[in-house]
Chain A
């Protein structure tokens, strides 16, 4: 294979990997702190994509600005959902098992509601728009501006969230709560506040990912599910509750998928991802980074 082709595959892998990382970190934040698996994560991505699309096509709002608007909008949805549904059921659930099954059902319900609402409001038509479609060349590899932008934004946000977790008192409190809920309360951490914060941040990251994806992928009411699955695979790959692992895992899955697809065919992408998933579960059930890195 010639060098440009290899570079092309690598760059495509890193671009999608950056977005996978963004999505997975968001999901893992909520899982790690609250032990809730957000099956509706992909639907937040879908909503983010639609909001960006409508703001652009109806009002000419640049997707660059939508990044901020959509993140704030998604965080707001997170706040409402967390406040009105999850804090109450955490309080009333008699045991962790009850909470887990109830919350799975609720998230499943939310995902059905969001995607059906989107198809009712906006029909199931495939949408899309052109933005920053100029092509330029790095080392002979053609790259569209919008993809490079998405990559840079995803990387910057991932790095910022990593710094938040490592360097700030709030971030240390999140990690402490992930590691030992009871001990974190004993040192004076307000668990409810951390739940709400992680929920909003996780939702905002999903919405932002949707905004970025909308610049170069098709938008439909049912586009979310594959991303939910990808996020699940990545958080297992990187270790449940291990945020750093999700970051690395996102890039790793993006690269593996793209390389695999380029050697076989695009139709095999889901099969490839699932194979990686099953392999990880069999070989390293605690994820490739285990629990020790974060």
Chain B
């Protein structure tokens, strides 16, 4: 894929030709993509395609050895993960990574660790409890004692506590029952309607493409396709490789 030549568009996130390594192992090559402000943008691909590697490098957990990442027109490359959170990037990681021995409430509080979020901690937490009523009922329970679906809610809630302008979700529907998957996608729409830009990574290709404004297809560490979600649903290669048609 070549760089986006349309200079008029405003991008919240602009990923330019990044290569990401896990120590010596290269996970992605020359990845380009952009996320329009206010959109739901998706990154789909099969196991091992490099989706998580890209999420981790945007949030600063993995270094980008080549290329550059721009957020709100500023280069992120040298910033530590906590500085990126402060700028407004939040990742709900693959596997949820809820703090097992903090209570639900503590998990949310710690989500608002960044300076700007801490000031509005109580208001944001009330909003999260409104969005996820089951969490409110379990606020004193330890993270480890929650069900998979509840942990996913908590992970999303924790990610929102930092008041991000970009919320990235790495396979939020993984391992959930169909009814929970549906709920997760509804929640994502709700959050997006509140003005939060979404970057969604999924293997659940059909539902993701139905919800995404723009989607990128990642194959073995490289961007293979880009298009509107609805267009990609009709793409013969996607149909064959990802939708089993």
Contact = CB atoms under 8 A, between A and B. Distances in A.
Contacts of B81: 185-186, 188
Interface string A258-294: 0000000000000000000000000000000001111
Given A169-B109, A169-B118, A188-B113, A176 B93 contact: no
Q: How large is the interface on B (under 10, 10 to 19, 20 to 34, 35 or more residues)?
A: 20 to 34
A294 B100 CA distance: 10
A175 B61 CA distance: 19
Interface in A174-217: 175-176, 179-180, 182-192
A186 B144 CA distance: 19
Given A176-B110, A179-B99, A187 B93 contact: no
B109 A172 contact: yes
Q: Which of A180, A183, A192, A294 lies at the interface centre, i.e. has the most chain B CB atoms within 10 A of its CB? A: A183
A186 B23 contact: no
B101 A294 contact: yes
Contacts of B117: 188
A266 B93 CA distance: 54
B93 A172 contact: no
Interface stretch (B10-18, B31-39, B41-49, B82-90): B82-90
B55 to A, nearest CB: 10
B81 to A, nearest CB: 4
Interface string B107-126: 00111011001100000000
A173 interface: yes
A188 B85 contact: yes
Contacts of A175: 99, 101-102
A94 interface: yes
A199 B106 CA distance: 24
Nearest to A291: B101
A184 to B, nearest CB: 8
Contacts of A185: 60-61, 80-82
Contacts of A192: 80
B237 to A, nearest CB: 33
10 contacts: A169-B110, A179-B101, A180-B99, A182-B61, A183-B97, A185-B61, A185-B81, A187-B110, A189-B110, A191-B82
Interface of A: 94-95, 169, 172-173, 175-176, 179-180, 182-192, 291-294
Interface of B: 23, 59-61, 80-82, 85-86, 90-91, 93, 97-102, 106, 109-111, 113-114, 117-118, 142, 144, 158-159, 161-162
